[in-house]
């Protein structure tokens, strides 16, 4: 964990550690940073982190969710407007860029900005000054830009949906944050973190079986989804989070159950001997347990509810070693 709760980035994943090293190096500069990654991977947390360790940390960070902003109001929200500039403009409005002066602007979902606004945004970023809607006075702004996109902006440029010159302007440094399914070694740390957050006065543990389900889920909603799952589990768990506290869609995704289900096909095939079926199933279970435990034999044995000595006998029987499953991890 780094820094305070608001800007902590919790990881033990090597790829994430390398990204953090780059973030640490660019934070002190005023260079624009583009944060790429799927929805829910933690782009806003990275933006907070970059701002709080930058030279602008004493200034504001203004976060702008562009996907939720009506297109017809976007220019007014970003750059402000003068009184009377349109029908509902009954008073002068200071835009979000002005509010971020001496600080940081975080443009979330910049991939959702229409081309008309992209043109205005580019001019402000290049000139460091703006004109409110309906105004003639040029207003200087001193900001550092952080932007986030849930898609590859180069693809949008090719499709004619994003200006190439704006892309070049905002991605001086690009940090691509991997989805949770590619950093599953962070799941235990995150589970502990969220358990402490949502049950601060309880000493809630999580069972090996429940953690196994979480470690083998594909997490389409990434860290945001994991956070919600843990929050829900803390509401219903007693002294320990068990598999009964895990949502059914995650339990049904468990690879061990899929193996058992898949092996049921063997029973419908003619000529399949019982001993052969059992050996096939046992071999797959042992191999999958090694994958889930990332080669930890003690943990793999617990997943199968076997003693360590029995599990090692199975490894010997099928001539398996933890390294045999490295291609599956």
CATH number of 181-251: 1.10.8.60
CA 223/CA 180 separation, integer angstroms: 6
Taking the model in full, what pTM does it have?
0.73
Mean pLDDT computed over 294-308 = 81
Tokens of 284: 């797959």
In sequence order, the 6+-apart residues with CB closer than 8 A to the CB of 174 are 33, 34, 35, 36
CATH number of 5-178: 3.40.50.300
Residue 28 is predicted with a pLDDT of 87
Mean pLDDT computed over 172-187 = 94
The more confident residue out of 98 and 80 is 98
Domain 255-325 has CATH 3.30.450: no
Give the residue range(s) of CATH 3.40.50.300 domains in the chain: 5-178
Strands 103-108 and 143-149: parallel
Give the residue range(s) of CATH 1.10.8.60 domains in the chain: 181-251
Mean pLDDT computed over 133-141 = 86
67 has pLDDT over 80? yes
CB atoms within 10 A of CB 119: 12
Mean pLDDT computed over 79-88 = 77
- Of 172-181, 225-234, 318-327, the poorest mean pLDDT is in 318-327
Give the residue range(s) of CATH 1.10.10 domains in the chain: 255-325
Residue 105 is predicted with a pLDDT of 95
Residue 127: helix, strand or coil by DSSP? helix
Buried b / exposed e over 166-201, threshold 16 CB at 10 Å, is bbebbbebbbebbbbeebbbbbeebbebbbeebbee
């Amino acid at each position: 964990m780094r820094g305070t709760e608001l800007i902590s980035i919790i990881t033990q994943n090597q790829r994430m550690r390398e990204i953090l090293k780059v973030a640490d190096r660019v934070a002190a500069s005023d260079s624009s940073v583009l944060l790429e990654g799927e929805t829910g991977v933690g782009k806003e947390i990275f933006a907070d982190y970059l701002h709080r360790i930058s030279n602008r940390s004493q200034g504001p960070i203004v976060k702008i969710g562009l996907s939720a902003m009506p297109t017809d109001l976007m220019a007014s929200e970003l750059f402000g407007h003068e009184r009377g500039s349109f029908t509902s403009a009954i008073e002068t409005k200071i835009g979000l860029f002005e509010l971020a002066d001496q600080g940081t602007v975080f443009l979330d979902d910049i991939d959702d900005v229409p081309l008309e606004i992209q043109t205005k945004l580019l001019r402000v970023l290049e000139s460091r000054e703006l004109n409110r809607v309906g105004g003639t006075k040029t207003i200087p702004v001193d900001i550092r830009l952080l932007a986030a996109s849930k898609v590859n902006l180069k693809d949008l440029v090719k499709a004619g949906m994003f200006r190439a010159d704006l892309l070049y302007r905002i991605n001086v440094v690009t940090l691509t944050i991997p989805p949770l399914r590619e950093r599953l070694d962070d799941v235990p740390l995150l589970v502990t973190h969220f358990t402490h957050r949502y049950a601060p006065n309880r000493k809630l543990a999580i069972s090996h079986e429940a953690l196994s389900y979480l470690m083998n889920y594909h997490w389409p909603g990434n860290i945001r989804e994991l956070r919600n799952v843990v929050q829900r589990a803390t509401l219903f768990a007693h002294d320990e989070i068990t598999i009964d506290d895990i949502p059914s869609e995650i339990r049904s995704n468990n690879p061990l159950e899929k193996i058992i289900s898949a092996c049921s096909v063997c029973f419908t095939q003619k000529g399949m001997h019982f001993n052969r079926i059992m050996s096939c199933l046992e071999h797959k279970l042992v191999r999958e347990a090694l994958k889930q435990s990332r080669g930890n034999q003690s943990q793999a044995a617990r997943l199968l509810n076997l003693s360590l000595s029995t599990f090692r006998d199975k490894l010997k029987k099928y001539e398996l070693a933890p390294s045999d499953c490295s291609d599956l991890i």
